[in-house]
């Protein structure tokens, strides 16, 4: 398991990707809205040009259901599908933000003064020094035992 800072960084990266993906979804799939005084170019509606050429319309008519195989991915999603997707994306963003908030809350040192944190670091440093001394002593003991074992093995070979 990764340390808390790595988990926090991973969650922040994921949140950034989710935000970017959500914005791209909104940018490319939002339903068109009519602007007063402007012609309506909504590709989900049958436009006047397609009505004039029924042959072209039958060849280019695609389903409005985003889950169907004949859905055109270049066109915006229907409003009901788009808004349902928006709710799901927003729930995902809120969930990721809650994960980030939790990770921040459990970071060590939160709720402690700077003096307390310095004292804790000094205690940990002293423990580290003591453990390093124990490790070095263990290495010396290991080397001593290896030499003794070599002597015993060499005596056995002579016999």
Mean pLDDT for all residues in the chain: 82
Q: Is residue 147 part of a domain?
A: yes
Domain that holds residue 143: 114-159
Q: Hunting for tokens 């935000």 — which residue is that?
A: 19
116-138: pLDDT as tens digits: 889 989 999 999 999 999 999 99
- pLDDT given at position 3: 84
Q: Is the pTM of this model over 0.75?
A: no
- The CA dihedral of 127, 132, 134, 136, to the nearest 10 degrees, is -170
When mean pLDDT is compared across 23-37, 59-73, 116-130, the lowest value belongs to 59-73
- pLDDT given at position 43: 61
pLDDT, mean of residues 83-111? 91
Provide the domain count of the chain. Answer: 1
Q: Is residue 106 part of a domain?
A: no
- pLDDT given at position 22: 95
């Amino acid at each position: 398991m990764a340390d808390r800072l790595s988990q926090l960084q991973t969650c922040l990266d994921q949140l950034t990707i989710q935000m970017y993906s959500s914005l791209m979804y909104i940018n490319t799939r939002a339903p068109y809205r009519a602007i007063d005084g402007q012609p309506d170019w909504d590709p989900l509606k049958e436009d006047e040009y397609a009505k004039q050429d029924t042959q072209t319309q039958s060849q280019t008519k695609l389903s409005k259901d985003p889950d169907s195989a004949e859905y055109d991915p270049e066109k915006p999603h229907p409003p009901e599908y788009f808004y349902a997707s928006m709710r799901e994306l927003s729930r995902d963003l809120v969930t990721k933000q809650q994960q980030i908030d939790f990770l921040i809350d459990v970071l060590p040192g939160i709720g402690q003064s700077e003096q307390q944190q310095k004292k804790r670091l000094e205690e940990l440093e002293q423990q580290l020094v003591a453990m390093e001394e124990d490790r070095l002593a263990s290495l010396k003991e290991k080397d001593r035992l290896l030499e003794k074992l070599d002597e015993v093995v060499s005596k056995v070979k002579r016999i």
